[in-house]
């Protein structure tokens, strides 16, 4: 098992909570580190192999759904020679292997395309408060974590800072135009339905997920990461029970431990115990195994 918290290559494009992205001209190199966030904080420890799982799971889904919706994926970095055109080979670190991918650089559409198949998180909070989800009136008597009759498209703004705000279909049409807004909805729903139905018999409920899109050479393509535990809620089918919140397939040991540690949710978050780190690595391996049928 390998741990990577930071990368340091030339031409950084963007450093996110978890991934470091580098500019390759008309392409990007996206590197998934082992950083983990919980309760909106990046924790001081990483989770060994987490970045490998996230990168390879995204690659898996991009390849599987390419016929459904075109995407930005060009190649996984299985071998450093693929990066020789972009960097001095002398400086290329071996940690990039297995945890990074080359993608087409896109003009990003600043909307988070969220699809929900189950009522949870902020959607459950809104429903309890007002009986609506994304301002759409819902049937009475829904229970927490219940499967929705049909998946719902609940897009949000992509805020540069602060929290993303819900966006109604009408607002989205006004911002992006009717055609593009409809296309984003259709493509997002198609991806979610496919992935949900694929994962369910393999023991994972994909309760909801977030996608991003961009334009490359005039074509609409899926970008960013796809159907990973960082962009989606994964639940264990074997533990699923309507009427309360569900344990997160991957992060629950971390959340429970942080909660029971007495931490007041003010920075800095405390370091995780070695035992929790190991348990969490196992959860990521297990998610990868169930979904892909392969060992990492």
Ligand X SMILES: Nc1ncnc2c1ncn2[C@@H]1O[C@H](COP(=O)(O)OP(=O)(O)O)[C@@H](O)[C@H]1O
Residues 6+ apart with CB under 8 A from 126: 132, 133, 134
Minimum distance between the CB of residue 27 and ligand X, rounded to whole angstroms? 8
> Contact 138/116 with Cβ under 8 angstroms?
no
Minimum distance between the CB of residue 151 and ligand X, rounded to whole angstroms? 23
Minimum distance between the CB of residue 63 and ligand X, rounded to whole angstroms? 16
Which residue number, 190 or 216, has a Cβ lying nearer to ligand X?
Answer: 216
Minimum distance between the CB of residue 127 and ligand X, rounded to whole angstroms? 26
Minimum distance between the CB of residue 260 and ligand X, rounded to whole angstroms? 26
- Name the residue number minimizing CB distance to ligand X: 16
Q: Nearest 5 degrees, angle CA 164-CA 170-CA 173?
A: 90
Which residues would be at the binding site for ligand X (CB under 6 A)?
14, 16-19, 21, 28, 72, 103-106, 108, 212, 214, 223-224
Which residue number, 103 or 181, has a Cβ lying nearer to ligand X?
Answer: 103
CA distance 262 to 270: 10
Which residue number, 18 or 176, has a Cβ lying nearer to ligand X?
Answer: 18
Minimum distance between the CB of residue 106 and ligand X, rounded to whole angstroms? 4
Minimum distance between the CB of residue 270 and ligand X, rounded to whole angstroms? 21
Which residue number, 71 or 120, has a Cβ lying nearer to ligand X?
Answer: 71
Which residue number, 19 or 99, has a Cβ lying nearer to ligand X?
Answer: 19
Which residue number, 51 or 98, has a Cβ lying nearer to ligand X?
Answer: 51
Which residue number, 7 or 134, has a Cβ lying nearer to ligand X?
Answer: 7
């Amino acid at each position: 098992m390998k741990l990577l918290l930071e990368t340091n290559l030339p031409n950084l494009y963007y450093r996110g909570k978890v991934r470091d992205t580098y500019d390759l001209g008309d392409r990007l190199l996206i590197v998934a580190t082992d950083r983990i966030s919980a309760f909106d904080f990046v924790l001081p420890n990483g989770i060994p192999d987490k970045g490998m799982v996230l990168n390879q799971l995204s690659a898996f889904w991009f390849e599987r759904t390419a016929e459904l919706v075109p995407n930005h994926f060009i190649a996984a970095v299985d071998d450093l020679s693929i990066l020789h055109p972009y960097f001095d080979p002398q400086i290329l670190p071996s940690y990039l292997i297995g945890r990074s991918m080359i993608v087409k650089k896109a003009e990003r559409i600043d909307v988070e395309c969220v699809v929900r198949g189950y009522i949870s998180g902020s959607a459950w909070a809104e429903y309890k408060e007002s009986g609506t989800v994304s301002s759409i009136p819902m049937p009475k008597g829904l229970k927490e974590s219940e499967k929705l009759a049909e998946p719902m498209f609940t897009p949000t703004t992509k805020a540069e800072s602060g929290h993303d705000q819900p966006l109604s279909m009408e607002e989205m049409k006004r911002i992006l135009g009717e055609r593009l807004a409809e296309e984003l909805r259709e493509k997002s729903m198609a991806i979610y339905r496919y992935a949900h139905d694929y994962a369910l018999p393999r023991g994972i409920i994909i309760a909801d997920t977030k996608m991003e899109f961009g334009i490359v050479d005039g074509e609409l393509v899926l970008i960013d990461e796809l159907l990973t535990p960082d962009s989606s809620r994964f639940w264990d089918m074997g533990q699923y029970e309507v009427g309360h919140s569900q344990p997160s397939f991957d992060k629950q040991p971390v959340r429970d431990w942080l909660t029971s540690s007495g931490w007041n949710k003010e920075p800095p978050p405390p370091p995780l115990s070695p035992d929790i780190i190991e348990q969490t690595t196992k959860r990521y391996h297990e998610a990868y195994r169930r979904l892909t049928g392969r060992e990492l």
